[in-house]
């Protein structure tokens, strides 16, 4: 109960902070005088906003029965990433991923998360990251189809600013 209440309070604080913050980003591809820390971008598997940064370091489809999905009945897409918290608000790696990424496969319904076997886990998804520090983590998502491409939409959900999208083939 305390954890869910704390999460709700943190989410509300982040939402209010996002609504009241000045938006210094530009929507052009040209270089500006805005420092790299304030740019809102997604390029080369790195999502960067004023409050957070995520670098996707690896991704892989894991089929049922394979290491990491031994007990699964459907394939999963796993992303390993490094999350950086630029705020003083104690965001967790899972918070940061959820505030930036939504995954789809062939329709408009976001894909659901999936637990994975301990053998492929890294990091602590619910451990707060101190300001200007980073932590490694991973997330897994259930795939509905073994052939349809997987799309990751990158959007700063605090400002509703879309950073981009990337399609990942299912191998």
In a domain, 6, yes or no: no
32-41 contacts at long range (C-beta below 8 A, 24 or more positions apart): 37/86, 40/156, 40/159, 40/161, 40/163, 41/163
Cβ neighbours for 147, distance < 8 A, ≥ 6 positions apart: 170
Q: Are strands 52-62 and 76-85 parallel, antiparallel or unpaired?
A: antiparallel
CATH value at residue 74: 2.60.40.1240
In a domain, 22, yes or no: no
Which of 37, 44, 118, 123 has its CA nearest to residue 80?
A: 123
Query: Global pTM?
Result: 0.75
In a domain, 65, yes or no: yes
In a domain, 46, yes or no: yes
The maximal CA–CA distance of the chain, rounded, in angstroms, is 51
In a domain, 53, yes or no: yes
Structural domain boundaries enclosing 44: 39-168
How confident is the model over 22-56, as pLDDT tens digits?
333 222 333 333 345 557 899 999 999 999 999 99
Q: d(Cα 102, Cα 94) in Å, to the nearest integer?
A: 12
Burial of 89 (0-12, 13-18, 19+ CB in 10 A): middle
In a domain, 18, yes or no: no
In a domain, 16, yes or no: no
**Total number of domains constituting the chain:** 1
How confident is the model over 51-74, as pLDDT tens digits?
999 999 999 999 999 999 988 899
């Amino acid at each position: 109960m305390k954890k869910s209440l704390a999460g709700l309070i943190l989410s509300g604080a982040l939402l209010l902070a996002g609504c009241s913050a000045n938006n210094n980003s530009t929507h052009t591809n040209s270089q500006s005088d805005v420092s790299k820390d304030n740019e809102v971008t997604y390029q080369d598997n790195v999502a960067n906003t004023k409050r957070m940064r995520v670098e996707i370091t690896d991704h892989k489809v894991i089929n049922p029965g394979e290491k990491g999905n031994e007990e699964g009945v459907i394939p999963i897409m796993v992303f390993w990433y490094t999350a950086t918290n630029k705020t003083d608000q104690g965001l967790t790696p899972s918070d940061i991923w959820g505030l930036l990424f939504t995954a789809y496969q062939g329709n408009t319904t976001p894909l659901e998360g999936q637990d994975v076997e301990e053998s492929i886990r890294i990091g602590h998804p619910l451990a707060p990251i101190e300001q200007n520090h980073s932590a490694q983590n991973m997330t897994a998502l259930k795939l509905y189809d073994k052939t349809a491409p997987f799309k990751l939409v990158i959007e700063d959900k605090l400002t509703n600013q879309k950073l981009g999208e990337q399609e990942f083939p299912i191998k």
